[in-house]
Structure 1
Amino acid sequence: MKAPCSAPGELLQTLADHVAQSAKETLDISPELAEAHGNEVAMLMANVWGGQVLYMPKGIHLQASKLHQQIFDEWTGRNQRELAMKHNLSLAFVYKVVKRMRLAIIARNQGDLFASFEEDDEE
């Protein structure tokens, strides 16, 4: 991993390099196409956030949500202990993740029971 960027254009070049490397590895495209893609993404970010001071989070929430989804996908209803051991987590944490994921799915699928009443009140 590179050290933090110091020169003004170094951030965009580092971003372009990382995107190009990722594109080569995950999309199996030519180095030239990957480099062009990296440069395009870097220029898009420059157009979107150029001139602003911004803080780049470490992506912990994104990593956690991927882990939570993986745990839920691997869950069979009876393998919490195995999942805890596999992911080096406590059994209680695995139960908590499964419960949260199940509640999120129920909430997404159920919808708002009072939406039609609120619409009638506005008329």
Structure 2
Amino acid sequence: MKDPCSAPGELLQALAAHVAESARDTLRLSSELAEAHGNEVAMHMAAVWGGQVLYIPKGVHMQASKLHLQIFDEWTGHNQREIAMKHNLSVQFVYKVVKRMRLAVIARNQGDLFASDDGQ
């Protein structure tokens, strides 16, 4: 694969191509629509982020969040061992994820007890 930063503009071209490929594969768009969508996304990124030094993380946290949601969705209260085996994780890690996700759900549902009603 060619280095996407080897010449000005190639990063946007690569982005447009990747978005178009994804649109064809996941959204089942025609090649023409997918290419137009890819170009539109690339131009939007250029308008928003153009001229700036940009660091793009590898998405580890996003992937972890998806895994955590999947673990929590699969959890029935007594199947930690099966979940751990399915995802090649330790049982302790599954317990940790379930605990963290349960606390997040409680916090979301409970809200802030000290927030005023008038928005201040």
With normalisation by structure 2, the TM-score equals 0.94
Secondary structure of 1:35's match? helix
Superposed counterparts of 1:1-123, under 5 Å:
2-5=1-4, 6-116=6-116
**Residue type matched to 1:14 in 2?**
A
| 1:67-86: CA deviation from partner (whole Å, max 9, x where unpaired) | 00011111111110000000
CA RMSD between the two structures:
1.5
Change beyond 3 A, Cα 1:85–1:20 = same
With normalisation by structure 1, the TM-score equals 0.92
Query: Unaligned stretches of 5+ in structure 2?
Result: none
**Residue type matched to 1:4 in 2?**
D
Distance (Å, rounded) in 2 between the aligned partners of 1:82 and 1:63: 21
Percent sequence identity over aligned pairs: 77
Q: Which runs of 4+ in 1 moved over 3 A?
A: none
Query: Between Structure 1 and Structure 2, how many residues are aligned?
Result: 119
Distance (Å, rounded) in 2 between the aligned partners of 1:99 and 1:4: 42
**Residue type matched to 1:105 in 2?**
V
Distance (Å, rounded) in 1 between the aligned partners of 2:3 and 2:106: 43
**Residue type matched to 1:71 in 2?**
I
Query: Unaligned stretches of 5+ in structure 1?
Result: none
